[in-house]
Structure formats: C-alpha cells, structure tokens
Chain A
C-alpha cells in the first residue's frame, strides 16, 4: 500500500484529504506543520506528501527544501495543496522541487487527477 503524508495546519483539510486519499488506497499519516512533517519523514519517507504552504513554525516551502536535502528526500512525490494560487508562488514551489500543485478549494476529481499525473494512482 502506498503511503501519503498530509501536512496542513487545518484539521478539516486533513480530514477531507484523508477521506479522498484513503479512497485511492493510500495509507495516511498526518502532520500539522513542516517541523512535525520533517520528523515523520526522518523516520520513514512516504511515497507522497500533500503539502500546505502557510503553516506555523516551518511553512510548506521551507519543509520542501529541507526534505529535498535529506538522504532519499528526492524520492517522495510532493503535491502542494494551498490557497497560494498566483503564478509566482506556483513557479516558486515547482522550482523548490514540487511535483504537482493543487489550488484550494479542491475536490476528489482534482486530487485524483493530480495523483494520476504523478504516477501514484
């Protein structure tokens, strides 16, 4: 079973994303900020990370840069999922190593399509 780490400070978003991704047969773990997410990744790298941008302590962008510097940190597919929807932010995320980008609000079809695009569905 493929694993996905949900990183978002909103428990509602994590709950919605969990329901969608469990429906796509992912085993889910959760973190409410970048720091906790990094800790999860140090123990075991997930196959995918669904990542918010704005979070307390360590934001999504900082987390992504730290993840990509970790041994094996180039492996997880990272999908940003954020309200930061302007082109400059998207380009910045891709430059930092994001594989895909979901603009909130999202639905099941969008998440499914993006995970298909990165080859995990």
Chain B
C-alpha cells in the first residue's frame, strides 16, 4: 500500500466513522482491508482505493468502515465494570427508580452483543430483587453486520469462554453443536439499532445508564468531547456513564465527573445554570449520584 493510499483511507475513515488511525496503523489497515479486497476480486489495497474513489462506491465504503471498526469483544469484558454494575450502580438505580420501576440502559458500542447480553445476564441473576421491574437495554453499533450477529446470539466455543464464567454459560446458553445459543429470554431483553455516534442520537430518549466502553479511544479529542457532551444530554441527572479502562472524561469535559472508588464510572455534572446560588455547585450537585452509590455499597 502506498503512503498516498494509506492517507486516503485514514481521511476517509475519519470522515465517515470518526475512526482516527495513527501513522503506525498501516498493518491494521492491511490486515482488515485485504480480506475485503479479496472478497471483491481486487488485486490489493491500491485497487480497493481506486474503487472507493469511483462513483457508486457506497456499498464498498460501508464494507470498509465495518471491517475497520469491528473490534473483538468478550462477555463481561474487564470484569470490574460489571462488578460495579451489580454491586453499586444497580442498587443505586433501584433505590432511585422505586416509583417508576423502569430502567433504561444504552450500550453505545454493542458490537456482536457480548456487552448488552452480559448486562442482561447480570440483571437476570438479580432474581427477586428486580421482580416487577421493567428493563430496556438498547444496544447500538455503527456496523450493521455485527448487529446482525448480535441479534442471532450464536457464539463459538472460543467466544463464550472469553470472560463468561462456566456457571453463567450453563444457565443462559444452549449448546448447538460446536456453538452456543443465548437463551431467548436474555435475547428478548436487548433491542438492537444501527447508530453512528458522530450523528445525532437525541431521538434515543433518556437513559439511566450508558455503557460506552472502548469506543472513544478511536476518536480524536474534539470528537470525544462532542460525544461525551451529547451523551450527557441523554443521561438522567442522577444516572451513570461507564467508560472503558483506557478512557476518561478527565481533562476533556466537565459534563461528567468520576464517581469515587468506582473506576470507569461517571456521574453527570449538573450544568452551571441549575447550580445557581450554590457555593460549590459541582460538589453539591454531584452528591446524589455519589451518595447513592456510597449508600448502596454500604448496604451490601
């Protein structure tokens, strides 16, 4: 691949998906896009670039974006965010939503479904504590291809072993030959939609919890800030945002504030207009979310 071709693909991917590729990611482009070129009967990446420049390349462009933005994912990936979800976020939300008895969760980079299904399984395992409650898990991803796989909920033996405890595998999956099928009740808890985080997502409604893990790392700083500030507009004031281990809001935006002792968990920061009259507006108005978390943890 020539430098010119690589630069063209970098610009194209940044424009269409927000994906930022540093100059050392040529190998990544080659490993992801050579299979696309082969499928299309093209000799190599230079031919692929020529096709992308030609009129009517929409289908190929979508395929290229999908190939570059599809990332490996595990069930219960990184474990800690799901411990926080079970042990502190959910108890806090159950307390705060006692009257409404309805909780909305958005998985903003659902990929092949492991994350939303992990959340659904965690909820299912709460048993009687959530009896009579209604949960909506909206799972979105840029790639329609991965969403199709997610909807089917059929995983290889390799995929189910990555992060999923064997007891949970037996409880929530059925063995189908060499594959494992997620149970219909878990599958029914998740709704999938194609969504580009660069585009307006205000129509999704309001959420009590947003999981947006391991996606911001691919964006440049202004895009990260823009996405975080738009996420804030769809998170309830006493809701939560969970980011990936390598991601943070610190130094980017005041829209969210880290929750003490809950690595990766953030609470929306009240806007200055709402804090009128307060001496230390942010500290005071952050109290509900953090205090509820502390109370939930203390109650364990």
Contact = CB atoms under 8 A, between A and B. Distances in A.
Nearest to A104: B157
Interface in B154-202: 157-158, 161-163, 165-167, 169-170, 175, 178
A113 B170 contact: no
A113 B168 CA distance: 14
A86 B179 CA distance: 11
Interface range on chain B: under 10, 10 to 19, 20 to 34, or 35 or more?
10 to 19
Residue in B162, B166, B169, B175 with the greatest tally of chain A CB atoms within 10 Å = B166
B101 to A, nearest CB: 32
B282 interface: no
A113 B169 CA distance: 14
Contacts of B284: none
Given A86-B175, A87-B175, A114 B161 contact: yes
Contact of A85 (B79, B157, B162, B165): B157
B162 A109 contact: yes
A116 to B, nearest CB: 6
B166 A100 contact: yes
Contacts of B169: 90
Contacts of B157: 85, 103
A116 B162 contact: no
Interface in A80-101: 85-87, 90-91, 94, 100-101
Interface string B45-82: 00000000000000000000000000000100001000
B74 A113 contact: yes
A101 B168 CA distance: 12
Nearest to A85: B157
A102 B175 contact: no
B118 to A, nearest CB: 13
Contact of B158 (A86, A90, A107, A114): A107
Interface string B138-168: 0000000000000000000110011101110
A17 to B, nearest CB: 15
A120 interface: no
B166 A90 contact: yes
Contacts of A91: 170
A74 interface: no
A100 B163 CA distance: 11
A100 B162 contact: no
A114 B163 CA distance: 7
Interface of B: 74, 79, 157-158, 161-163, 165-167, 169-170, 175, 178
The 6 closest A-B pairs by CB, nearest first: A101-B166, A110-B161, A113-B163, A117-B165, A87-B175, A103-B157
22 contacts: A85-B157, A85-B178, A87-B170, A87-B175, A90-B169, A90-B170, A91-B170, A94-B166, A94-B167, A100-B166, A101-B166, A105-B158, A106-B161, A107-B158, A109-B74, A110-B158, A110-B161, A113-B74, A113-B162, A113-B163, A114-B161, A117-B163
Given A94-B170, A103-B161, A110-B161, 5 more contacts: A87-B175, A91-B170, A102-B161, A107-B158, A113-B162
